[in-house]
Amino acid sequence: MINRLTTSIAEANAIISNLQIQLTTYWTQIAGSGVTSTTSTTNNNRTPKAEMEEYKALEVFEQLATPLQWSTHLILKSKMKLYGTKSKNYLAATKRVEYDSPPKFISNIDFTFKIDESIFNKDEAQALYTHMRHITKEYRIQAMSLYVQSTNRERDNQTYH
């Protein structure tokens, strides 16, 4: 009796482990399918096959999943989607830093103003304009640094909740 019960528990654990692996694979594919359009156009040939595999994996999971596993699936689905969005935002922010292309809300700031050059000599005016450009550049660097930090924290925060 105990051996049969132990065997049944071991089989149930194996089935649960298999379902967890399938669910992880399914969610990895789902999270990866929301990539940029350039990546999706290069994967056009693989997309129908991958979608069919995802659908079949979901059907198998739906048939074998217990109510607890299904509710876990529903909870994880939204979390994975949110994590994918936060991860893409972080990746976009780091690429913007890499290519020195800040978002509009940062790049629209320009700390320059006209100086009456009849009051200042050319060297003083040039020094003031240089200082204005330096202030603008420092602002952009600090703003982008803060932006990347915030997107990174948002992304990392999703992994802990």
The angle that helices 67-98 and 2-33 make with each other, rounded to 10 degrees, is 30
> Which long-range contacts (C-beta less than 8 Å, at least 24 apart) are formed by 110-113?
110/136, 111/135, 111/136, 111/139, 112/136
Q: Left if phi > 0, otherwise alpha if psi is -120 to 50, otherwise beta: which for 57?
A: alpha
| Greater pLDDT, 31 or 27 | 27
**Residue pLDDT, tens place only, 76-99:** 888 888 888 888 988 888 888 888
Higher pLDDT, 29 or 72: 72
* DSSP string across 9-54: HHHHHHHHHHHHHHHHHHHHHHHHHT--HHHHHHTTTTHHHHHHHH
Cα separation, 151 vs 40, in Å, equals 24
pLDDT in tens, 125-151: 899 999 999 998 888 888 898 989 998
